[in-house]
Amino acid sequence: MSERIVLAYSGGLDTSVAIGWIAEATGAEVIAVAVDVGQGGESLETIRQRALDCGAVEAYVADARDEFAAEYCMPALQANALYMDSYPLVSALSRPVIVKHLVAAARQFGATTVSHGCTGKGNDQVRFEVGIQTLGPDLKCIAPVRDLALTRDKAIAFAEEKNLPIVTTKKNPFSIDANVWGRAVETGFLEDIWNGPTPDVYEYTSDPASGIAADEVVITFKEGVPVAIDGKPVTPLQAIEEMNRRAGAQGIGRIDIVEDRLVGIKSREIYEAPGAMALMAAHRELENVTVEREQARFKKTVGQRWTELVYDGQWFSPLKNSLDAFIGDTQKYVSGDIRMDLHAGRATVTGRRSESSLYDFNLATYDTGDTFDQSMARGFIELFGMSSKVASGRDQRLAEGK
C-alpha cells in the first residue's frame, strides 16, 4: 500500500487543491479530514464528497460541535481565558479538537503523516504540529503552503487545470476562521492598522448603535458551566449558540486588537465572540460572589498562564493539565444565577444569586442589624500596617543620621 497522508480539510480552494498537490509532490495517497466545530456553511456530506471528487482516497468527517463546546470552550470559560485581556482564543481552542480527530484518522487509515494548510508565519502551524507530535509522536507533519510552495495563484491554476469542483475566481479580501466560540478576521485592508473595520467585516454581530431595545437574560451556572438560560435547560453548545444570537443582535463581542503572535510578529486581528464574551462576563461576576478572595486572586494568575499555554499550542502539555486541576477545583461553588442586560454593545450584570454565595448581607449592610464588629478594625489596621511602619521608622532614623 502507498504511503498515506491525512490532510486537515476545510472544503475551500486551498485545501481542495492541496489533495492533488500533495499527491503529486509526495506520491502518497491523501485522506481528507473535515471537523465541524460550528463554523457553519456547507454540510459535512457536501464537504466529504468534494474531497473525494478532488482526489482523496478516503474522507473522514466528524460533527464535533458538542465536543468542542463542552470539552474546549467550557474550560476556557471557567478559566476566564482572554489573551492580552481581549481575545477569547477563538481559533486557538479549535485546533486541539481538530488535532485529536486528525490523529484518530491517521490511526484508522494507516497514515504516517499529517498535513495542514497553515502558512509559516502564523500561530496555527505551531498549534497543529505540537498537538500532533504530542498525541502521535510517531507521525510526521507537512504543510503544503509552507513546505510545498502552494501559493494562492498556483492553487487557482492547479484547480482550473485539473477541473476541480471548486470556485476559483471569487476571492474574499479577508482571511476568516470561524467556529461556535467566535469568528476571526484578518488581512486585506485591515493590515493597515490605521484603517477602521467596515460593516462587511462583521457577520456574528449587528451594529451596536442599531438602537434595538435591551434584552434581559438570566444565565444559570452549575460549577462554572451554563446549564440554563431564562430557566430553560441548555447544553454547553446550546448556551453558546443562544448567547451568540442574543448578544450578537446587540453588537456585543466585537474586538479589534494588535496581537502578539507566538512567532514574534504583531498582527491586527478582528474578532467577533458575542456568546463567549457575554458568558464570560456572567461567569466572572458569579465567581466574584462565590470564590474566596485569596483563591480568586491566585486564579487570575493561573488563568492567565492557562490562556498563554492554549494560545501557544500547548493544550496537551503537562502544565496545562495541572492548571486544569486547579481551575476545576475553584469551580466547585460557582453555581447560581446571573441576570444581565444586553444592550448597545454591552453585557451588564444587574443581579446575582447563589446558594453558595460568600456575600453576607448582615456583614455588608450599614443599616440596623449589622453583625460586623467594628471594634476589631483598629487592631487589624495596626497589625496590617506594622511592617511598613517599622520600615518607615528605620528609613527616617538612618536619614536623620546622615
Q: Is 161 annotated as a binding residue?
A: no
Q: Is residue 264 annotated as involved in ligand binding?
A: no
CB 184 within 8 A of CB 176: yes
10 is in an annotated binding site: yes
- Give the cell for residue 400: 536623620
Q: Is 271 a known ligand-binding residue?
A: yes
**Residue 347 · residue 277 · CB < 8 Å:** yes
Active site residue 95: yes
Catalytic residue among 48, 50, 65, 95: 95
* Per-residue CA distances from 402 to 263, 390, 391, 393, 395 (Å): 53, 19, 17, 15, 11
Q: What is the CA radius of gyration of the chain?
A: 26
Q: Is 284 a catalytic site residue?
A: no
What gap in Å lies between CA 265 and CA 261, rounded to an integer? 6
211 known member of a binding site:
no
Tell me whether residue 354 is one of the annotated catalytic residues: no
11 labeled binding residue: yes
In the residue annotation, 2 being an active-site residue is answered as no
Residue of 4, 14, 65, 246 marked active site: 14
The answer to whether 206 is annotated as binding is no
**Helix/strand/coil (H, E, C) string of 255-320?**
EEEEEECCCCCEEEEEEECHHHHHHHHHHHHHHHHHCCHHHHHHHHHHHHHHHHHHHCCCCCCHHH
Residue 312 assigned ligand-binding role: no
State how far the Cα of 296 lies from the Cα of 316, in Å rounded to an integer: 25
119 is known to lie in a ligand binding site: yes
**Closest CA relative to residue 130, chosen from 107, 99, 106, 104:** 99
Q: Which of 36, 91, 124, 267 is catalytic?
A: 124
C-alpha to C-alpha distance for 81 and 346, rounded to whole angstroms: 19
| Selected catalytic residue, list 2, 175, 322, 392 | 175
163 annotated as ligand-binding: no
Q: Known binder of ligand: residue 9?
A: yes
Annotated binding-site residue numbers for L-citrulline: 87, 123, 127, 175, 259, 271
Tell me the catalytic residues.
14, 95, 124, 175
Annotated binding-site residue numbers for L-aspartate: 119, 123-124
Annotated binding-site residue numbers: 8-16, 87, 117, 119, 123-124, 127, 175, 259, 271
Annotated binding-site residue numbers for ATP: 8-16, 117
